Chains A and B, each alone.
Chain A
Amino acid sequence: DGGITQSPKYLFRKEGQNVTLSCEQNLNHDAMYWYRQDPGQGLRLIYYSQIVNDFQKGDIAEGYSVSREKKESFPLTVTSAQKNPTAFYLCASSTASGRADTQYFGPGTRLTVL
């Protein structure tokens, strides 16, 4: 089955801890994205990567970091510098850059900071 997997589905973390959210895709997509969604709001872009070993900041990158060592994987680390990390995190991937209609979303990780 082709698709995007995100793990874990739910994540709880204590204030001051770093946490890494996993995103894996077997669609052979070049581009991958991380979004954050807060209640009553749309998605906001955190980071995106168009090719392995390269990534760019989105609109709300502060307090987050990413890596893209493999085409299939784009993990997101939420650091202690992120002031309000409780949110729903969505990972997406797409085929060649510039094809927004091919952007396919994973099931999401809900992060709660206690």
Chain B
Amino acid sequence: EDKVVQSPLSLVVHEGDTVTLNCSYEVTNFRSLLWYKQEKKAPTFLFMLTSSGIEKKSGRLSSILDKKELFSILNITATQTGDSAVYLCAVEISSNTGKLIFGQGTTLQVKP
């Protein structure tokens, strides 16, 4: 059975801290791994990773994929209260369907 597991499930930090969110996966036909940020409603796309070892970066957020060890991390540096959200990891499986398997999500709370 395809599965995606995120850790930790929840995290509380203070502004300025650096956090690392983890995502491991076991799927039969890996195509890509995606990270989303969800604040109350619709998830918004952060990164898509397809190749091992290549860091994707956007401002204070960065992510990397290890296809040998089957995991990805999402780093957030100098956290702000606006980073408080649920962070979802998803793996796209098979070709030409866009079908995604999601992890449980990590709830991040950043305190002032």
Partners in one complex: yes
Q: B residues near A, CB below 8 A?
A: 4, 6, 9, 31-32, 34, 41-45, 48, 88-90, 92, 95-105
In chain A, positions 88-112 with a C-beta closer than 8 Å to chain B are 90, 94, 97-101, 103-108
Of chain B, the residue at the smallest CB distance from A105 is B42
5 new A-B pairs (CB below 8 Å) besides A45-B101, A97-B98, A103-B45?
A: A42-B102, A48-B98, A101-B48, A107-B42, A108-B42
Residues A107 and B41 in contact, CB atoms below 8 Å apart: yes
Interface: A68 (CB within 8 A): no
Residues B32 and A100 in contact, CB atoms below 8 Å apart: yes
Q: What is the CA–CA distance of A48 and B105 in the complex, to the nearest angstrom?
A: 22
Cross-interface CB contact of B97 among A43, A44, A98, A101, cutoff 8 Å:
A98
- Report the interface size class on chain A: 20 to 34
Kindly list chain A residues whose C-beta atoms are within 8 Å of the C-beta of B42: 90, 105-108
Interface: A33 (CB within 8 A): yes
Q: How far is the CB of A73 from chain B (nearest CB, A)?
A: 18
Q: What is the CA–CA distance of A97 and B93 in the complex, to the nearest angstrom?
A: 12
Residues A33 and B98 in contact, CB atoms below 8 Å apart: yes
Residues A103 and B98 in contact, CB atoms below 8 Å apart: yes
Residues A45 and B99 in contact, CB atoms below 8 Å apart: yes
Kindly list chain B residues whose C-beta atoms are within 8 Å of the C-beta of A35: 102
Kindly list chain A residues whose C-beta atoms are within 8 Å of the C-beta of B4: 42
Annotate A23-45 by CB proximity to B: 1 below 8 A, 0 otherwise. Answer: 00000000101010000111111
